[in-house]
Amino acid sequence: MSDSPVIKTMRVVPVAGYDSMLLNIGGAHNCYFTRILVILTDSAGRTGVGESPCHASTLGLLARFQSQIEGSELLRLNATIATLFASDARHQQTAHTDDIHIPQMNPEKFYNAAAAIEAALLDLMGQHLNLPVADLLASGRQRDRVPVLGYLFYIADRNLTSMNYQAGQAGGDAWLQLRHEKAMDAQSVVRLAEAAAERYGFRDFKLKGGVHHGEVEVETVNALLQRFPQARVTVDPNASWSLDEAIYYGKQLAGRIPYLEDPCGAEQGYSGRETLAEFKRATGIPVATNMIANDWRQLQHALQLNAIDIPLADPHFWTMRHAHTVAQLCQEWGLTTGCHSNNHFDVSLAMVAHLGAAAPGDRLTAFDTHWIWQDGQQLTQHAPQIRDGHLELPEGPGLGITLNMKRVEAAHALYTSLPDKNRNDALGMQFLIENWSFNAKRPALLR
């Protein structure tokens, strides 16, 4: 394989950006969010990049993988990634020994690390072959733009905290202002949706639930549907509703929403896969999930129980290539392809664009992205664009993006300055409710 470029350097750069006080079952988003960039250079002088959620253990894994990546031949990408998976398997085995010096590899963090490396390698491979990454995924490019949804949150009043939440940009459009302001009821969420639709052309919306009592969230969905009668609107309470509540609210929304996301979860000795299967039978409402089918084994159980219709295979949880395999499986087995997200920068946005562009078939539900909350903080020269409710595939080979290193270094400096680097939504929430703590079965404001 002497013609292959060789990976010269792997740099792992944790970065931070700003976020609004968005509410979810875990509490309130911090004023900062953190991510990891993996930046590879090769012997042909090219740079490839990938992004992942940030956690100290993911950083530890990436540091460990560096020696396996540097010196590897780009065209042996499959073998390189297989080596990472093999070292994961070895670790899982050794972690069962009594040797406390061998750290247990957290599977979620392992996938986050592998996903960022794989994306950076695919970026380099695409540049080498002069092809977009979408063409390197097994089905190849199917479309040039991917439907995405307007991800709406209730927003707490940042003025109640001493945290460094940013204010809206003077002179910006309505979205750039409103995304920083309190929005705790149906009317203000509709206003947010109007501003997002004006800027990005959304026709699909998802409300992050698990915040208020379910009645209030159903009322918000109804208000959105009334304002946007042609739109596809859903709510994701992150399994905070009981099965009975989920069926009760589901029946109120049936026929008017395309699907519900994780309406209920594990309870009374039954797994989330079991309760979702019962929910589906009781209501006939399709179910999407990013909570109970996040690896092959979980997905197999979910499908055997007929618990879900839309596995939201996030490329950061699965890697881009595995998420694409899930999309192929959806196409072959009559499921619908979708994608979950967390707060992210524009490198992840490009990863999602290429994944969506390569997803086969037309049973595709609008992909999630939190990016509208971060729009303006891009770390690339030209961020992928969301227009007319669609994320456009960036032009050019690889991921089609070029890092803006000045911004990357500034985002890294911000990360370095933060006292809390891992996500902890309880901190902000405790300004709203004293001593607040997480409860997987209760919406955040019900304490």
Ligand X SMILES: O=C([O-])[C@@H](O)[C@@H](O)[C@H](O)[C@@H](O)C(=O)[O-]
238 binds ligand X (CB under 6 A): yes
Is there a catalytic annotation at residue 206? Answer: no
Q: Judge whether 342 is annotated as a binding position.
A: no
Token pair belonging to 350 = 């490009």
Q: Is the dihedral of CA 193, 194, 198, 202 positive or negative?
A: positive
The one among 290, 331, 348, 365 contacting ligand X by CB under 6 A: 290
How far apart, in whole angstroms, are the C-alpha atoms of residue 165 and residue 156?
11
DSSP character string of 69-99: HTT-BGGGHHHHHHHHHHHHHHHHHHTTSS-
How far apart, in whole angstroms, are the C-alpha atoms of residue 166 and residue 179?
10
Minimum distance of Mg ion from residue 288's CB (angstroms): 7
Minimum distance of ligand X from residue 369's CB (angstroms): 10
Query: Would you call 101 exposed, middle or buried from its count of C-beta atoms within 10 A (0-12, 13-18, 19+)?
Result: exposed
Is there a catalytic annotation at residue 280? Answer: no
How far apart, in whole angstroms, are the C-alpha atoms of residue 296 and residue 303?
10
Query: Phi and psi of 101, rounded to 5°?
Result: -85, -10
How far apart, in whole angstroms, are the C-alpha atoms of residue 427 and residue 420?
10
The one among 51, 118, 217, 236 contacting ligand X by CB under 6 A: 236
34 binds ligand X (CB under 6 A): no
Alpha-helical (H) ranges within 206-341 are 214-227, 243-253, 272-283, 296-304, 315-318, 320-333
How far apart, in whole angstroms, are the C-alpha atoms of residue 141 and residue 355?
9
Minimum distance of ligand X from residue 22's CB (angstroms): 6
Stretch binding ligand X (CB under 6 A), from 3-11, 42-50, 71-79, 339-347: 339-347
Contact by Cβ (8 Å): 205, 365: no
How far apart, in whole angstroms, are the C-alpha atoms of residue 292 and residue 404?
37
Minimum distance of ligand X from residue 118's CB (angstroms): 21
The one among 290, 294, 343, 378 contacting Mg ion by CB under 5 A: 290
**Judged by CB under 5 A, how many residues of this single chain contact Mg ion?**
3
Task: Name the residue among 85, 83, 74, 69 with its Cα closest to residue 43.
Answer: 74
Task: Name the residue among 288, 337, 286 with its Cα closest to residue 315.
Answer: 337
294 binds ligand X (CB under 6 A): no
x/- track of binding to ligand X for residues 66-105 (CB under 6 A)? ----------------------------------------
34 binds Mg ion (CB under 5 A): no
Q: If contact means CB under 5 to 8 A according to the sort of partner, which of ligand X, Mg ion, none does residue 208 touch? A: ligand X
369 binds ligand X (CB under 6 A): no
Catalytic residue among 128, 180, 206, 208: 208
**Judged by CB under 6 A, how many residues of this single chain contact ligand X?**
9
At residue 182, the 3 state secondary structure works out as: coil
Q: Judge whether 236 is annotated as a binding position.
A: yes
Stretch binding ligand X (CB under 6 A), from 66-74, 127-135, 155-163, 335-343: 335-343
Instruction: Name the residue nearer to ligand X (CB basis): 290 or 374.
Output: 290
24 binds ligand X (CB under 6 A): yes
Binding site per annotation, positions for Mg(2+): 236, 267, 290
Binding site for ligand X (CB under 6 A): 22, 24, 208, 236, 238, 290, 340-342
Q: Which are the catalytic amino acids? A: 208, 340
Would you list which residues are annotated within the binding site? 236, 267, 290
Q: Which residues bind Mg ion (CB under 5 A)?
A: 236, 261, 290
